Amino acid sequence: MLLGRAGDPTSGEPASGDPTSGDPLAAQLRAIVGPGHVLTHPDLRAGYEIDWTRRFAGRARLVVRPGSTAEVAQVVRACAAAAAPLVPQGGNTGLVGGGVPRDGEVLLSLRRLDELGQVDAAAMEVTAGAGVTLARLQARALQAGLAFGIDLAARDSATVGGMIATNAGGVHVLRHGSVRAQVVGIEAVLASGDVLSRMPGLAKDNAGYALPQLLAGSEGTLAVITGARLRLVRAPAHRAVALVALEAGPNDGRGAFRSPEARATASAVALTGRARSRLASLEAAELFFEDGLALVLRHRGGARPFRDEHPGYLLLECAADADPADGLAELLAGAPEVADAVLVSDPSGMRRLWDLREDHTDAIAAEGMAHKLDVSVPVARLAELVERLPGAVAGTGGRGDGAGRPTGRGSHPGRHRRDARDQARPGSHRPAEPGGAVRGERPLTLADPPATYPLEQVPPTPSGVPIGTMPAGLGAARPLSGNPADC
Ligand SMILES: Cc1cc2nc3c(=O)[nH]c(=O)nc-3n(C[C@H](O)[C@H](O)[C@H](O)COP(=O)(O)OP(=O)(O)OC[C@H]3O[C@@H](n4cnc5c(N)ncnc54)[C@H](O)[C@@H]3O)c2cc1C
């Protein structure tokens, strides 16, 4: 799936109508990356200036597209000398506005850094440029009989650099962890223009700070990621997927929840807990609700998976060297949380069930402007989160690791921006109160409080990153992100 970009211009500039064609920085950058890779004309910048949700948009001073780490370093130096803030961008599939400019920043597109090495089968690792897409990485791993531990619906556009910068989780996070757990080496350009390269790919590396992990989730604030050494995992031979229609009983043992969705969530949490402890093959557990399913079916057609409507649905995927279908069927048989279930292990059947979950984002975007927040709470409090989500949220989803993506739709950009900003502000975000964390809209910068924080410990001072503890170069770096605090 190619995610709706307005365009992806590859070269050339229209001759006229460009108000920034006399920009001295543009001339300097053209000398570094070549004339076809500095885009100043509004038509050519347009696809880079708006994000996938269409909620976040702004004007870039120019778009620069370096083709190597050395060029990135020169670009960063030139921008620093010109005091021009930079916004790094990969596939532009991030949903919270961190990869698009706000007003006049230089947009640094990393998509041309798309070199992909051969798989090192002995180490089960591969080296990839920041611009390599997830789908290409997955295909390369598969050729070697291996897999990458991350999968997400934006796989055709999301890039290695963007996934590391956002510490993406994806649907297999239960089994393999987030991207942070997959990065064993990193190459990046600091705000000074210095290149940091730590690519030994050692399973155990005690030589100082864990820089790959530090940069994972830094969202372009500490450095521009130009490449990474990535851990691969075994590719199991067999898979099975079950879609469970959930009972909305008071399965938390307390009968505390009023909404059917919250009670279905309690069922999902109980069932997932048993699946995690009994099935070593469990790879994914994704929860969605009736209103989300109805929206997907309305948007793209198709038959309901069950005759009756149910308040919640849990998608479970198992993968192993031996067929995991029997174990999954055994778990579901007679489970009190299961109102109905369908279990498949043929590729097209599994794809059909997954589409019901993955098509949520497209369906929401087709109906209006998507509101997205990454909210994490302890799994035991997921039902509480669902119970307390504001009625204004039109559809929600969650997953077995306690990460939820409350999603709504609407039509008024200004209003949505304000709502999301309020939600992301310390102390004002109700849905994540149950001991969790929220990431929404505001990208991290060194000068800004973090947008991810334990909600019950709102940071007392605006010091998101412990600058004093940074390795030389990182602490001294001023924010690379041009997206400042006052979203
Ligand atoms: C349909 C759909 C499904 C999705 N599902 C998931 C999911 O399951 N789990 C999940 O975690 N996310 C998901 N996402 C969100 C998104 O795909 C991920 O956040 C992805 O990691 C972003 O990658 P990107 O290359 O598009 O980054 P961008 O959107 O281009 O950038 C994201 C952030 O990273 C920074 N950045 C990008 N590249 C670099 C770099 N090379 N160096 C430094 N900083 C950089 C940007 O400045 C920005 O702050 C989904 C998105 C869509 C549209």
Q: Is the CB of 129 under 6 A from ligand 1?
A: no
CA 103 / ligand 1 centre spacing (Å) = 21
Nearest CA to ligand 1 atom 27: 162
Ligand 1 atom closest to the CA of 163, numbered from 1 = 21
Q: Is the CB of 52 under 6 A from ligand 1?
A: yes
Residue 476 and residue 414: Cα distance in Å, rounded? 35
Query: Which of the listed residues 53, 95, 374, 480 should we mutate to test ligand 1's pocket, taking the one with most ligand atoms within 8 A of CB?
Result: 95
Q: Is the CB of 272 under 6 A from ligand 1?
A: no
What percent of the chain lies above the pLDDT cut of 70? 74
Q: Is the CB of 312 under 6 A from ligand 1?
A: no
What does the pLDDT look like over 160-184, one tens digit per residue? 999 999 999 999 999 999 999 999 9
Q: What is the pLDDT of residue 48?
A: 97
Q: What is the pLDDT of residue 244?
A: 98
Query: Which of the listed residues 87, 166, 356, 445 should we mutate to test ligand 1's pocket, taking the one with most ligand atoms within 8 A of CB?
Result: 166
CA 323 / ligand 1 centre spacing (Å) = 33
Residue 54 and residue 409: Cα distance in Å, rounded? 11
Q: Is the CB of 3 under 6 A from ligand 1?
A: yes
In this predicted structure, which of 34-43, 241-250, 319-328 has the lowest mean pLDDT? Answer: 241-250
Nearest CA to ligand 1 atom 18: 94
Per-residue confidence at 117, pLDDT binned at 50, 70, 90? very high
CA distances, 126 to each of 9, 186, 471 (Å): 29, 12, 26
Average pLDDT, integer, range 446-467: 33
* 439: three-class secondary structure by DSSP: strand
Average pLDDT, integer, range 454-481: 36
CA 130 / ligand 1 centre spacing (Å) = 12
What does the pLDDT look like over 295-307, one tens digit per residue? 999 998 999 999 9
Q: Which helix (H) or strand (E) holds 126?
A: strand 125-129
CA 53 / ligand 1 centre spacing (Å) = 12
Question: β-pairing, 195-198 with 183-190?
Answer: antiparallel
Ligand 1 atom closest to the CA of 178, numbered from 1 = 11
CA 98 / ligand 1 centre spacing (Å) = 9
Q: What is the pLDDT of residue 144?
A: 97
How far is C-alpha 328 from the geometric centre of its chain's CA atoms? 28
Q: Are 468 and 476 in contact (CB under 8 A)?
A: no
Per-residue confidence at 365, pLDDT binned at 50, 70, 90? confident
Q: Is the CB of 162 under 6 A from ligand 1?
A: yes
Ligand 1 atom closest to the CA of 164, numbered from 1 = 21
Q: Are 413 and 362 in contact (CB under 8 A)?
A: no
- Of the two residues 478 and 71, the one the predictor is more confident about is 71
CA 96 / ligand 1 centre spacing (Å) = 9
Per-residue confidence at 377, pLDDT binned at 50, 70, 90? confident
Q: What is the pLDDT of residue 468?
A: 32
Ligand 1 atom closest to the CA of 225, numbered from 1 = 42
CA 153 / ligand 1 centre spacing (Å) = 11
Name the packing angle between helices 347-367 and 290-300 (round to 10°): 90
Q: Is the CB of 132 under 6 A from ligand 1?
A: no
Residue 127 and residue 138: Cα distance in Å, rounded? 13
- Rg of the chain over Cα atoms, rounded to whole angstroms, equals 23
CA distances, 93 to each of 42, 88, 122, 322, 339 (Å): 21, 13, 33, 35, 36
Average pLDDT, integer, range 43-63: 93
In this predicted structure, which of 48-52, 360-364, 392-396 has the lowest mean pLDDT? Answer: 392-396
